[in-house]
Amino acid sequence: MNRYKKFRIPTVDAVAAACAVYRHFGNTVKKSELNDTSKTSKEMLLDHFSGNSEITVTDQDRTRADEVIAYIRQRNMMDTLAGRSNSPFFLGVATLLEKETTSSSDIGMLAWAPKLVDDLSRSADRTEEIRQTCHNSRYIGTPGKGIELEFHVLNTAYIQDYNRFVHMGHDGTGNAVTFWHPTRLTGVTRIKGRVKTHTPIARYGNIPGTGLNYVKIK
């Protein structure tokens, strides 16, 4: 039997409580884990709105909730206008935040709203940092020809479908360089490869980017 009451509450109240739970767990979302019987973020929220609360929602949490809602709404609107795609999860949260009220069945998704904003903010800051670092980027090398350089890592992402890391960085003088590699590189690494493409990188303001393949670590 489900021990939680069904409820419908103002969305802003749900997000404020989510911010309180997020703060309670040290600015993270507590998920269900094997052999861990402690409450998850979702369970803490359900308890809170079922009369068994272990958290205190402060004015700071309520202010943060307004910021979270505004950020995700604005981000969704700007991405839609720019034709940029978003993950189904982001769109799910954004859809819930457009509603005045939310139900107990959706509280688990809203538990992620504060972390979603933190992650998006860090990503935006990183993107701006890369734009500034490579704002005078130029194409280097000649397509089809070999090249050797000191690669300064700026960003990496693991692509599970290919079991590879996509790397973005520069050559030490701000010229943007990208490539795939099975090993995640950090810091500065001497590499050798072949110039595959000279293509503007839209994500970073269309800075000129040199794409490499057949990359080897020296």
Per-residue pLDDT tens over the stretch 156-167? 988 888 899 999
Domain boundaries of the chain, sorted by first residue: 8-130, 146-217
Q: Is the pLDDT of residue 5 over 90?
A: no
Interval 199-212 mean pLDDT:
91
Q: Is the pLDDT of residue 126 over 80?
A: yes
CB neighbour burial string for 50-83, b if at least 16 within 10 angstroms, e if fewer: eeeeebebeeebbebbeebbebbeebbeeeeeee
Is the model's pTM score more than 0.85? Answer: no
Instruction: Indicate the pLDDT class of residue 2, thresholds 50, 70 and 90.
Output: low
Per-residue pLDDT tens over the stretch 79-96? 888 787 888 999 999 999
Residue by residue, DSSP assigns 117-139 as HHHHHHHHHHHHHHHHHTTT---
Report d(CA 151, CA 167) in Å as an integer: 10
Per-residue pLDDT tens over the stretch 19-30? 999 999 999 999
Residue 142 burial (CB count, 10 A): 11
Interval 129-146 mean pLDDT:
94
pLDDT at 84: 76
Residue of 90, 152, 91 whose CA lies nearest to 123:
90
Report d(CA 97, CA 115) in Å as an integer: 15
Residues 153 and 138: beta-carbon distance below 8 Å: no
Q: What is the CA radius of gyration of the chain?
A: 22
Instruction: Give the range among 1-15, 123-137, 174-188 with minimum mean pLDDT.
Output: 1-15
Residue, of 98 and 32, whose pLDDT is higher: 98
List beta partners, residue 152.
170, 188
Report d(CA 40, CA 32) in Å as an integer: 6
Q: What class has domain 146-217?
A: mainly beta
